[in-house]
């Protein structure tokens, strides 16, 4: 927001303008819905126009303020258009959640030597370059208002070293690295940049890439021995989008029920 007071409710995102990339379905839609329910003005950004428009309409029907903007995170012009649309409608951008990523469409896990160059480049472009482009697009607005929160969705696979997932893991490792680097550059502008590294979420996307027998095995290995749902991410991300996280930057919060520790 334009200004923040210590007298304000520090963990509140009420009236914050928050962009969620990859927000049309899956975890992104869950995040967008949660943030809207907490009083944020949400910009749903995605290449999936039908799903994104439907979600924004649902959020607005529920009494919140949201809109959909078709966005391709690997296209710099598209990212600039997204930022301009948010500022045009709301006058500011308070937070960006960089959630857009290639995951389910990987189709299957592969030995690192069997990954095609095209697949490697595609994953790196969306999962890593997209984070950089989106952050660069919102930076001028955040700098001008002296306030901003960037939350990048990484992955606990970086900490666990998951096999047969080298391109995805590398892309998420890059997200953590760029989080740290940009955080050092923009802190003086009142902007924080952090990452959240989820564990394996028990949903359709994960089921498309993993044998179903893997999920109960993973649950037993967690300190909190249960399945992980998209809702398990919302608290951490809401906190990092709020004024309460104002002295935290460059950090990666692992949210996986205590399977790996950073």
Residues involved in catalysis:
168
Q: Taking the alpha carbons of 37, 43, 45, 51 in that order, is the dihedral positive or negative? A: positive
Do the Cβ atoms of 225 and 219 come closer than 8 Å? yes
Triad 232, 87, 7: Cα angle to 5°: 60
List phi, psi (to 5°) of 202: -80, 85
Q: For residue 261, with 0-12 CB atoms within 10 Å meaning exposed, 13-18 middle and 19 or more buried, which class applies?
A: exposed
- In sequence order, which residues have a C-beta less than 8 Å from that of residue 4 and are 6 or more positions away? 147, 243, 246
Q: Which of 117, 236, 254, 72 is nearest to 172 (CA)?
A: 254
Q: Can you read off the two tokens belonging to residue 202?
A: 């028990």
């Amino acid at each position: 927001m334009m200004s923040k007071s210590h007298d304000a409710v520090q963990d509140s995102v009420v009236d914050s303008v928050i962009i969620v990339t990859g927000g049309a379905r899956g975890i992104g839609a869950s995040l967008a819905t949660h943030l809207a329910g907490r009083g944020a003005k949400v910009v749903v950004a995605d290449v999936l126009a039908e799903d994104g428009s439907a979600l924004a309409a649902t959020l607005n029907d529920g009494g919140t303020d949201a809109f959909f903007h078709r966005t391709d995170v690997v296209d710099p012009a598209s990212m600039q258009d997204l930022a301009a649309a948010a500022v045009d409608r709301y006058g500011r951008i308070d937070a960006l959640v960089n959630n857009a990523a290639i995951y389910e469409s990987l189709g299957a896990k592969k030995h690192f030597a069997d990954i095609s160059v095209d697949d490697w480049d595609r994953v790196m472009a969306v999962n890593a370059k997209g984070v950089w482009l989106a952050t660069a697009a919102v930076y001028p607005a955040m700098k001008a208002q002296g306030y901003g929160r960037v939350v990048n969705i990484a992955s606990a696979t970086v900490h666990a070293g998951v096999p047969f997932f080298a391109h995805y893991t590398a892309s998420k490792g890059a997200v953590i690295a760029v989080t740290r680097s940009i955080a050092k550059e923009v802190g003086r502008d009142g902007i924080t940049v952090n990452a959240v590294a989820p564990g394996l979420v028990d949903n359709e996307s994960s089921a498309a890439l993993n044998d179903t027998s893997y999920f109960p095995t993973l649950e037993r290995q967690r300190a909190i021995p249960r399945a992980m749902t998209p809702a398990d991410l919302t608290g951490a991300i809401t906190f990092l989008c709020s004024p309460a996280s104002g002295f935290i930057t460059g950090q990666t919060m692992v949210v996986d029920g205590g399977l790996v520790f950073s």
